[in-house]
Amino acid sequence: MSLIRPALNTYLRLIEKRKMRRAKTPQKLRQNLELSARLLFHAPRGTKIEKTMLPGDVDVLTVTPKYVTSDIVIFYIHGGGFVFGSPETHAAMLGQLAARVGARVVMPRYRLAPEFKFPAAADDVEAAYGALIASGVAAQNIVVGGDSAGGALAFGLLSGILTKKLPAPRGVFGFSPFVDFTRQGASFVENADREAVLAPERAVDMLEMYLADADRSDARLNTLSADFGGAPPVWLCVGDTEILRDDSRALSQHLKSCDVDVTFHEEHDLPHVWPIFHNILPEARQTLDDLAGWITALPTPVSES
């Protein structure tokens, strides 16, 4: 482990975690992350980050590396507790991944809570996935990814694709995905103080903003009981001190029970969605390297059915 890791964790716990606790409105949470992203996160030189419209007037952000060498398109869903975050806040991290894979990234812009409650975000993500295919990108060339709440949307999307027998992507990956809407994992309590980024009580608040009076039996809110039979390979990573540690453990186990090919990395004392700190954290760059290698090695499905 690098010497940067403990210093970064200390800063996050003392500054950013407290800042999240003190933010009294969703607007303040959004402003804080947008500012931090502009100051701290930088894509490689030569990366093009552009607003684009897909068929059906679907609003996305595209991230294109200086050199495109792959036919893969990464469809990435940003996190932020369903309440904050945007394609722009995560674009630099995806620029780093794009450069490593030599692939273009498409990031959907979904509606946020509390202004728009479930299933608005899930509907937007599914519409964007369909629009990407309608634009001419074969599903077998798409790799879906997401972090935290974006991970919930990514695996909810995968569940819907399989249920509706839509064209499936080549693979799916998640950085510290949130998938247990019942919050039954012990880590949510055990790691409350050790967690460097997420304040548990604020996470609960944001979840309630998103769910409101939603039908909790909706399949997209029950990832850990969904039938993932026939799903493409999945790659997951999480830190052992995160409150969402057990989400990834449970998801990995459930996917394996559905005979899905799962690559699971649990790292020691790394912060929530640590690849976003790629500019300063060696472990973040290593994880992006590992993920890029996994994406590049994914086999092309025989068909899109």
* pLDDT digit string, tens, across residues 262-293: 999 999 999 999 999 999 999 999 999 999 99
- According to DSSP, the β-strands at 234-239 and 142-147 are unpaired
Q: Which of 274, 299, 298, 300 shows the shortest CA–CA distance to 288?
A: 274
Q: pTM of this prediction? A: 0.97
- Cα atoms found within 13 Å of the Cα of residue 267, Cβ hemisphere only: 21
Longest Cα–Cα distance in the chain: 51
> Confidence band (pLDDT; 50, 70, 90) for 304?
very low
Mean per-residue pLDDT for 193-214? Answer: 95
Task: Find the angle CA(198)-CA(181)-CA(126) to the nearest 5 degrees.
Answer: 100
